[in-house]
Amino acid sequence: MTDYEIPRPTSGDIVELIKDDHRIFEEMLRQMRDVDADREAVRQAFSELLVAHSEAEEHEVYPKLKTKKVIDGEEEEHGEEEHAATNEALLHLLQAKGTDTQKYEDALEAVAEVLMHHIGEEELTILNPAQTDASEDLRAELGVAFATARNQLLEQGCGSLEQVEAIVKQAYDDGLLPNDEQPTEQ
Ligand SMILES: [Fe+2]
Ligand SMILES: [Fe+2]
């Protein structure tokens, strides 16, 4: 599928695990700009990790932090909306044919912009409270749950063009993306 190696820790402090992925995303964005890198392989690995990471956060981390009153429902929903926006930008990146076109470069910069915005906000409004208000035990428990869900998704494959298309469509159906902007078939 891809020769780009994605680390797959199975446990750890949830705050550290999520931040480690964020640093990998930053590195992948740089590599997807680099003419000397295997940009096609990195693009596919980036898609797999981004989907696995966001889904694992939504299913295993945000709801538990909300139950434990570390974050509130608004922060959870805002995170989900930003994941939806990031997935839509990812879809445009995957739709670019090849990695040496203007469409690819434009889509790459667009996904970089929404993803870096989300990472900044998530670290400030979700990970900082998790660091200060969640117990060490809870952070370890969430670490295992996040890593397990993330690795399972990576194992089964979750970031193909068809899969990302379906995720974006679902986000529109769930009202996570503004309906008037739904794109027509490209
Ligand atoms: Fe994240
Ligand atoms: Fe996130």
| Ligand number nearest to the C-alpha of 15 | 1
Which pLDDT tens digit goes with each residue over 73-107? 999 999 999 999 999 999 999 999 999 999 999 99
Supply the mean pLDDT for the chain. Answer: 95
In a domain? residue 27: yes
**97: CA distance to ligand 1 center in Å?**
27
The Cα–Cα gap between 123 and 15 comes to 9
Instruction: Tell me what pLDDT residue 4 has.
Output: 74
**119: CA distance to ligand 1 center in Å?**
6
Residue 72 DSSP SS3:
coil
In a domain? residue 186: no
- Domain range for 120 is 14-174
Count of domains in the chain? Answer: 1
What does the buried/exposed string (b/e) look like for 131-143 if buried means 16 or more CB atoms within 10 Å of the residue's CB? beebeeebbebbb
Instruction: Tell me what pLDDT residue 179 has.
Output: 79
In a domain? residue 86: yes
In a domain? residue 159: yes
Band of residue 5 on the pLDDT scale cut at 50, 70, 90: confident
In a domain? residue 142: yes
In a domain? residue 9: no
In a domain? residue 87: yes
**34: CA distance to ligand 2 center in Å?**
25
For residues 158-175, average pLDDT: 97
In a domain? residue 24: yes
